[in-house]
């Protein structure tokens, strides 16, 4: 098991140190608050990714529209010259 580059022995040591520092009564509350913070970060990350993808799609559509319009505008003056 490897979470954030921390193996099982390191995780156990961190838990023991946290238990000694915060005590058994405070540890579940800290765990819940950390879980909420991680969940909030994940939601923000998903929201950012979705917005980024929407903007990328809009930009791609704008590029396609521009690519379709420009050749038509370039052809129009050539036809008038003839």
Q: What does the mean pLDDT of the chain come to?
A: 83
Q: Is 67 part of a structural domain of the chain?
A: yes
Predicted confidence at residue 65, as pLDDT, reads 83
Q: How many CB atoms lie within 10 A of CB 30?
A: 12
Mean pLDDT (whole number) for 11-21: 88
Using CA atoms, how far apart are residues 82 and 77, in angstroms rounded to an integer? Answer: 9
Q: Is 30 part of a structural domain of the chain?
A: yes
Strand partners, 6: 3
Q: Is 3 part of a structural domain of the chain?
A: no
pLDDT > 60? residue 28: yes
Contact 18, 27 (CB under 8 A): yes
Q: Is 2 part of a structural domain of the chain?
A: no
Q: Is 77 part of a structural domain of the chain?
A: yes
Predicted confidence at residue 7, as pLDDT, reads 83
Containing domain of residue 50, as a range?
Answer: 8-81
Predicted confidence at residue 44, as pLDDT, reads 93
Domain count, the chain: 1
Q: Is 1 part of a structural domain of the chain?
A: no
Q: How many CB atoms lie within 10 A of CB 10?
A: 13
Summarize pLDDT for 44-75 with one digit per residue, the tens: 999 999 999 999 999 998 888 887 776 666 66
- The DSSP letter of residue 26 is T
Q: Is 38 part of a structural domain of the chain?
A: yes
């Amino acid at each position: 098991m490897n979470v954030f580059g921390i193996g099982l022995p390191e995780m156990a040591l961190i838990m023991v140190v946290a238990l000694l520092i915060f005590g058994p009564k405070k540890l579940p509350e800290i765990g819940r608050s950390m879980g909420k913070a991680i969940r909030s970060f994940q939601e923000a990350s998903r929201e950012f990714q979705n917005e980024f993808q929407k903007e990328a799609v809009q930009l791609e559509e704008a590029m396609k529209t521009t690519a379709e319009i420009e050749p038509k505008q370039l052809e129009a003056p050539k036809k008038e010259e003839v």
